[in-house]
Structure 1
Amino acid sequence: MDTVAPAPPAPAVPARQPRASLWALRVLLTGQLLAVLAQPVLAGLFLTGDVDAITGHGLIGSLLPLLGLLVVGGASAYVLGGRGRLWVLPAAVVLFLAEGLQVGMGYARTLQMHIPLGVAIVTVSVLSTIWVWSSSARRPR
């Protein structure tokens, strides 16, 4: 009676995980979050009488779409090169577009749109930054 020996197990190939791209995305999102969190502080200072604070608010606000574009680049590297979560790239693009719209609404002084959109941008930025530092962001798709 012939017995067939089981085939040896195939060598385990480690799943490719996002590493450098994840760290780049972490740094970019954290930097963007700091700039985003400065915005309500500067607006509040302006409303309490520090008229010079609006200059900083406008400058940081004008730079936020540039930071958003860098985040889109980092998200692209994370998703495409690092095999990260797919939802991160469209979320970064939507945040970038919202920041561009926010700048336009601010300079147009359309506060009924500028303030709620700002709250949404702060919320998404905080949640995105919390997520990117979580263990879930390290897992490959």
Structure 2
Amino acid sequence: MDTLAPRTAARTRKPRLSLWTLRFLLTGHLVAVLAQPVLAGRYLTGDVDAITVHGLVGSLMSLVAMALVAGAVAYVLGGRGQLWVLPVTVLLFLAEGLQIGMGHSRALQVHVPLGVAIVVAAVLLAAWVWTPAAARPRGVR
């Protein structure tokens, strides 16, 4: 009687709650990141109040990025998710901190290209987190 064999096979633990948390955080972060060039563009076209909102959204983004690091820790450690997600989210958090500093010091030669890099990283992370690869536990291909 081999009918019990499939039931006794070891099940791999997949990231579930931690993955949904990461998806929520990365998607919200992406919305804020994509708002930044729009707000900067509005400022450059004459809407002087847009720079205040740009700064506020940037500061709030750093809080979201901090939560994103915590979500990545839960995804990697608790959900057995992909290891590379944690250092990437930490680098993104640090880049956003540098971005805020460069913006306040008006160092646009760093602020603008770093902003582009942050947008690209946020888009790629947010797109990846919705793929089936993000749901696979570590070590499964």
TM bracket (short chain): over 0.9
**What's the offset of the Cα at 1:9?**
5.4
2:127 is aligned with 1:130:
yes
* TM-score w.r.t. length of structure 2: 0.93
| Aligned partner letter, 2:111 | H
Give me the whole-angstrom Cα distance separating, in 1, the residues matched to 2:5 and 2:62: 51
Q: Which residue does the alignment assign to 1:108?
A: 105
Task: Using the aligned pairs only, state the percent identity.
Answer: 66
Find out whether 1:50 has 2:60 as its counterpart: no
2:74 aligned residue (64, 74, 77):
77
Amino acid at match of 1:123: V
Cross-structure match for 2:59:
62
CA distance in 1, matches of 2:45, 2:125: 30
Deviation string, structure 1 residues 65-101 (Cα, Å, up to 9, x no partner): 1111000000000000000000000000000000000
Amino acid in structure 2 at the alignment position of 1:91: V
Encode CA deviations 1:22-78: one digit per residue, 9 max, x unaligned.
Answer: 000000000000000000000000000111100100100111111110000000000
User: In the alignment, is residue 21 of structure 1 matched against residue 38 of structure 2?
Assistant: no
Give deviations 1:94-137, integer Å, cap 9, x for gaps.
00000000000000000000000000000000000000000000
Displaced runs of 4 or more, over 3 A:
none
Of the candidates 69, 76, 87, which is equivalent to residue 84 of structure 2? Answer: 87
Normalising by structure 1, we get a TM-score of: 0.93
Aligned residues: 134
